[in-house]
Amino acid sequence: MNQPVRVKTLKIDDRDVSGREDETILEVARQNGIFIPTLCHLEGLTPIGACRLCLVEIKGVSRLLPACVTRVEEGMEVYTQSERLQKYRRMVLELLFSERNHICSVCVVNGHCELQSMAQILGMTHVSVPYRFPRLPVDASHERFVVDHNRCILCTRCVRVCDEIEGAHTWDVMGRGIDSRVITDLNQPWGESETCTSCGKCVNVCPTGALFEKGKPVSDRQKKRQFLPYLTMMREERR
């Protein structure tokens, strides 16, 4: 445990900042009040770099790198706001919207959705690629919760929180690429799941209306996420 902490110094958007060697660009940026958009990332869960919304430019590196899974390095020069990044971030969002059926006006979390507010924050006013309009199921077999695959963006927050925090590992991902889908147990109806403890963690970390609680008014759909960093911290202390 008691190894010396090494500190790296770097620049983000021309500002001098520093971070521990095991910290990511995203963590250091947030500590310094620099905004980098994210969707799959959630403090308290293992970062996986799935959504690519947090892409940043690094001087001397031709590829764009995801800030949530890229460690800070000495002398790094990171840019988070270039025209090029804004363009790609909007493109990522447009692809997410076009892939499934995100109809905000009839969604249970309208007004409390991270995808919806990200579109607004990043100035996306329409989707310039053709919508796919896939035919997707809704599973309401669980006595308290519903999964609506039309709204899922495959961020896998539900998968990670159920595995890493609740320890049930009810959720997983099935299929490949655009046909991927989150499943409960071995693709059984959620209501028949033997592993699910009905704790509701997955519902609360889901950024969209893909997972929601039955019988709650729309005005009451604010997701509660404060518990996450706390639970992670307590677990780590006990290790």
Partner 1 sequence: MSKKRIATVWLDGCSGCHMSFLDMDERLIEVFQQADLVYSPLVDLKEFPEQVDITLVEGAVSSEEDLHKIRMVRERTKILVAFGDCAVTGNVPSMRNPFGAKATLQRAYLENVTLHPQVPREAIPALLEKVRPVHEVVKVDVFIPGCPPSAETIFLALSDLLADRMPDMAKLTRFGA
Give contact residues for ligand SF4 (rule: CB under 6 A).
Answer: 105, 152-158, 161-162, 166, 168, 170-171, 182, 196-202, 205-208, 210-211
CA dist list (Å): 185 to 60, 106, 131, 163, 193: 44, 29, 30, 12, 6
Site for partner 1 in 42-101 (CB under 8 A): 97, 101
With tokens 């804004």, the residue in question is 86
Query: Least distance (Å) from partner 1 to the CB of residue 82?
Result: 18
Contact pattern for partner 1 over residues 94 through 133, marking x by CB under 8 A: ---x---xxxxxxx--xx----xx-xxxxxxxxxx-xx-x
Site for ligand FES in 56-95 (CB under 6 A): 66, 68
Residue 210 touches which member of partner 1, ligand FES, ligand SF4, none, C-beta under 5-8 Å by kind: ligand SF4
Decide whether 64 or 196 has the Cβ nearer to ligand FES: 64
Site for ligand FES in 23-62 (CB under 6 A): 38-41, 49-54
Q: Distance between CA 211 and CA 61 in Å, rounded?
A: 38
Angle of helix 83-99 versus helix 114-121 axis, rounded to 10: 150
**What is the distance of C-alpha 122 from the center of its chain?**
16
- Using rule CB under 8 A, residue 32 touches partner 1: no
Instruction: Region of 44 please: left (phi>0), alpha (psi -120 to 50) or beta.
Output: left
Type of residue found at 71:
R
Q: Are strands 77-79 and 7-12 parallel, antiparallel or unpaired?
A: parallel
Please report, as ranges, the residues that interact with partner 1 according to CB under 8 A: 97, 101-107, 110-111, 116-117, 119-128, 130-131, 133-136
Please report, as ranges, the residues that interact with ligand FES according to CB under 6 A: 38-41, 49-54, 66, 68
